Amino acid sequence: MGHWEPIVTQVWDTVITPCDCCGQVVARQLWVVDVEGEEHRFCSERCEELYRTHVIPQRGEGAVA
């Protein structure tokens, strides 16, 4: 079961974290969840679903990351 983790930034941080799956910017909090033994940081639960239902099945066929 995933959980939301707030992103803590310092004043000198001028960049933003991208989502592990889709690459979108995540401004305030990351959806952190374990997928197949690996911890991932997504932009939302929607992306976790995309990861599970699309990325893993597709990459399993040898697509280059």
Partner 1 sequence: MATTDVTAQPSGEIDPVLLGIINNNFVNICREMGITMTRTAFSPIFNEGLDFSCVLFDKHLNMIGQAEFCPAQLAASLFIVRWTVEELGIDSFEPGDVVLHNDPYRGGAHIPEHSVIRPVFYAGELWGFVANVGHLAEIGGKAVGSFAADATEVFQEGLRIPPIKIVSRDENNMDLWRLIMANHRTPRNTWGDLNAQIGSLRVAERSLIGLLDRYGAEFVQQAAFELMDYSERWMRAEISAIPNGSYEFTDHMEDDGVVDRAVRFHVTVTIDDDRMIVDWTGSDPQVRGPINATYGVTSGAVYNAVFHVTDSSIPKNSGAYRPIYIIAPPGTVVNVVYPGPSVGGNTETHPKLVDMVTGALAPVMREKVAAAEGASACNFLFGGIHPKTGDYYANYHLEGCGWGAKDYDDGNDCTIVVNGNCRNTPVEIFETRYPLETVEYSLIQDSGGAGRHRGGLGTRRIMRIGPGAEVTASALFDRTKGDFRAWGLEGGGPGGYGAIRVKRNGDTEFRTFPEVYGTVSASKFTNIVLEEGDEVMLDAPGGGGFGDPQERDRDAVGRDVVDGIVSREAARELYGWKGE
Pairwise CA distance, residues 2 & 15, whole Å: 24
Query: Which strands make up the sheet holding 29-35, listed edge to edge?
Result: 3-6, 29-35, 38-42
> How many chain residues interact with partner 1 (CB under 8 A)?
23
In angstroms, give the least distance from the CB of 44 to partner 1. Answer: 5
Residue 24 identity? Q
Three-class secondary structure of residue 3 per DSSP: strand
Per CB under 8 A, contacts with partner 1 among 27-56 are 27-29, 43-44, 46, 50, 54-55
Catalog residues that contact partner 1 under the rule CB under 8 A.
4, 14-16, 18, 21-25, 27-29, 43-44, 46, 50, 54-55, 58, 63-65
